[in-house]
Amino acid sequence: MQPTGLLAAGRLLYARDLKLAFRRWEQITQPVVFFLMVTTLFPLALSPETGQLRQVAAGVLWVAALLSALLALEFMFRSDYEDGTLEQLVLSGQPLWWLALIKALAHWTVSGLPLVLAAPIVALSLAIPTEALGTVVVSLFLGTAILSFLGAVGAGLTLGIRRGSVLLSLLVLPLAMPALIFGARAVDMAVMGDVSRGPLLLLGAMCILSVTLGPFATSAALKVSME
């Protein structure tokens, strides 16, 4: 039997993870619902005044996105680890870093991409001007990708730990702080009418680093957890 190629294996794993995710709707809806609830209830707790909302909009938007993305990280490898699928993937002959990259990409598709699509609605509820919506979408696109690939490393390290969700959050949150700072800064500059190219370029560089180096770190973390 001819071995499965790298791209074919990645395509099959990506399609499998998407099918499993759509069978468990809570993995997709829970982060989005949490994101919408936090950001839309915040104006009720603070003030409906446009000026006050715009002062805190960037921080509220990014903190809510960060916490929402953390909700689904624990399930990235958990079910595959429990039913033996992860062991079969390790023994499949495919590079483990490649499989980790595909699983992180699938995780971003079902958890990060819905947040990006919901961002314009949330931004309008926080009185962010329409001219800044492009920056909001681009910054969250890059930021959620960073969180997915960094979160994959934490999910791999805490795989064999019972109730490792708290430890996972403690591992990922410090690593995600630079993305939070630059993402919120980019949105804040766009709200104030300034050019936000600098923070967005830094976010892009961080995204490239997390996509290129994250899968190798995830591969090493999975090997440690499975030993």
Q: What is the model's pLDDT at position 204?
A: 94
Q: What is the model's pLDDT at position 164?
A: 60
* Rounded CA separation 60/57 (Å): 5
Residue 4 φ then ψ, to 5°:
-75, 135
* Rounded CA separation 117/11 (Å): 23
Q: Is 137 exposed, middle or buried (0-12, 13-18, 19+ CB in 10 A)?
A: middle
Q: What is the model's pLDDT at position 1?
A: 43
Q: What is the model's pLDDT at position 25?
A: 73
Question: Taking the chain, what is the end-to-end CA distance rounded to the nearest angstrom?
Answer: 29
Mean pLDDT by 10 residues, the chain (227 residues): 69 87 76 85 74 81 87 78 78 84 91 89 85 91 92 83 71 87 91 88 93 90 77
Q: What is the model's pLDDT at position 140?
A: 93
Q: What is the model's pLDDT at position 216?
A: 92
* Rounded CA separation 177/182 (Å): 9
Side-chain half-sphere exposure of 25, counting CA atoms within 13 A: 1
